[in-house]
A and B are shown apart, each in its own frame.
Chain A
Amino acid sequence: MTAPEDPSIPARLEALFRTYGAKVQALLLTYGLDKHGIDPSDVEQEVRIRLWRALERDRSGAFHASYIQRVVASTVIDAMRRAEVRAAEPLPDEEEESGGIGEAPIGPDRRAVDVEQMQGLARCLAGIPERRRLPITLHLQGFALQEIADLAGIPSAEAARKLVSRGLDELKTRLRELGYGEFDD
């Protein structure tokens, strides 16, 4: 599907949108959103179409960066919704054995250990006070210290680092004490 043709819109804009769409697609792949059932090329096209439509709808309107970001976010949320619907549909037998989309299949033994460790992790996290738990979980989800500080309302990245460091030590100690073994960060 191509962008709607409008002779009043310069070709330069079309090139800009294509470049931007390519960047969106590359980032979706970089952060593995395809593993969540999202098709990056679909999202890229949808983002471009939505931006074109927004521009055609109101050329004089403000086309801020935050608006563009919102278009990307809402497009990805829609794609996640579609992926969820697809995931709820019954899969062919051969795909049922895999651990998830884009992941290598894992054996029953590994899966049993995983489930046991996950339950242990959930139990240990539940035992940590909320104030310290949020920075730890954000860190485990891959957020940087400054991002953790911004998201959790912690005054500084250094303060977040201290909270995360202490929290991780506490978590590892609990897991070890409960017999789940040793863990890396």
Chain B
Amino acid sequence: MTRTSLSDLYRRFTQANAPGPDAVQADDLVAAAEGTLASDRREAIAGILASSPAHADVVRVLRDLKSDSETLAAHVASDDCETTHRRRQSGTRRIAAHRRSGVQRWAAVAACLVAVLGAWSMHSSRTDDVQSGARGTLARADVIFSTHDKIFGGENIFGGSMDQKPGHPAGKPRSGGDRVFHGDFSGG
């Protein structure tokens, strides 16, 4: 004769007389699975678990699920950190890009200023060149006139011929013109 299992009989009995689903709160089930029930609630919760196969099974599920829940929490936390890090990085990039764009804007303004100043200075230097060119032309004209003045001043030519003594030829004859004027005076 097979003997009845006391456990099977008890579970059938409690199945038929089990308390309702709301007899235990989710927090208490979690605490029961983790063995961290508060001492003032321990007896009441243990009594319900002892008389409810469904709640007892939920506690067993939670007990076996604990390591998976910890793993999931760790993955979510790491993923969250990664996402936050990525967001921070992109935020930093945005700020850096914003700063860069500000710097670039100022650089562009400075470049424009330099270009304007350069153009202005080139223009002004050209104007100076034109003006100085005109002045140079005038100066050169002065030189020509002064050369002309020297030539026609004739101080050396005429002075030299007049200073030359008789019997002492004046070295190298300078020009035919000079000699013409020169010879006529000393020959008699």
Asked, given contacts A152-B46, A153-B43, whether A24 binds B65 with beta carbons under 8 Å apart, the answer is yes
A residues with a Cβ closer than 8 A to B are 8, 10, 12-13, 16-17, 20, 23-24, 27-28, 30-33, 36, 38, 55, 59-60, 63-70, 72-74, 76-78, 80-81, 84, 100, 114, 117-118, 121-122, 134, 137-143, 146-147, 150-153, 168, 171-172, 181-185
B163 adjacent to chain A (CB < 8 Å): no
Name the one of A23, A38, A100, A151 contacting B37, with C-beta atoms under 8 angstroms.
A151
Size category of the binding interface on chain B: 35 or more
B7, closest chain A residue (CB): A140
A85, closest chain B residue (CB): B21
In contact, B9 and A118 (Cβ under 8 angstroms): yes
Q: How far is the CA of A65 from the CA of B63 in the complex (A)?
A: 12
A142, closest chain B residue (CB): B56
A-B contacts, 20 listed (Cβ < 8 Å): A16-B76, A20-B68, A30-B64, A32-B57, A33-B57, A60-B80, A69-B34, A73-B29, A73-B30, A76-B61, A77-B22, A80-B58, A137-B10, A138-B49, A140-B6, A143-B56, A150-B37, A151-B37, A151-B46, A152-B46
In contact, A134 and B47 (Cβ under 8 angstroms): yes
Contacts of A66 in B (CB 8 A): 30, 34, 69
Contacts of B12 in A (CB 8 A): 114, 118
Q: How far is the CA of A171 from the CA of B65 in the complex (A)?
A: 34
Q: How far is the CA of A81 from the CA of B25 in the complex (A)?
A: 12
Please give the distance in Å from A160's CB to the nearest CB on chain B: 12
Q: How far is the CA of A33 from the CA of B59 in the complex (A)?
A: 11
Name the one of A31, A147, A181 contacting B4, with C-beta atoms under 8 angstroms.
A181
Contacts of B22 in A (CB 8 A): 77, 81
Q: A77-B26, A140-B50, A183-B5 are in contact. List 15 more A-B contacts (CB 8 A).
A: A12-B79, A24-B65, A31-B57, A33-B61, A36-B54, A66-B34, A68-B69, A68-B73, A72-B65, A73-B58, A84-B20, A122-B13, A141-B7, A171-B6, A184-B4
Please give the distance in Å from B149's CB to the nearest CB on chain A: 94
Q: How far is the CA of A75 from the CA of B89 in the complex (A)?
A: 37
A114, closest chain B residue (CB): B12
Interface string of B34-76 (1 = CB under 8 A from A): 1101010011011101110110111011111110111011011
Please give the distance in Å from A29's CB to the nearest CB on chain B: 10
B residues 99-127 with Cβ under 8 Å of A? Answer: none
In contact, A27 and B76 (Cβ under 8 angstroms): no
In contact, A33 and B35 (Cβ under 8 angstroms): no
Contacts of B30 in A (CB 8 A): 66, 69-70, 73
Q: How far is the CA of A74 from the CA of B80 in the complex (A)?
A: 24
Q: How far is the CA of A76 from the CA of B50 in the complex (A)?
A: 18
In contact, B6 and A141 (Cβ under 8 angstroms): no
In contact, B3 and A73 (Cβ under 8 angstroms): no
Name the one of A10, A73, A184 contacting B79, with C-beta atoms under 8 angstroms.
A10
Asked, given contacts A65-B69, A184-B4, whether A151 binds B79 with beta carbons under 8 Å apart, the answer is no
In contact, A36 and B80 (Cβ under 8 angstroms): no
B77 adjacent to chain A (CB < 8 Å): yes
B15 adjacent to chain A (CB < 8 Å): yes
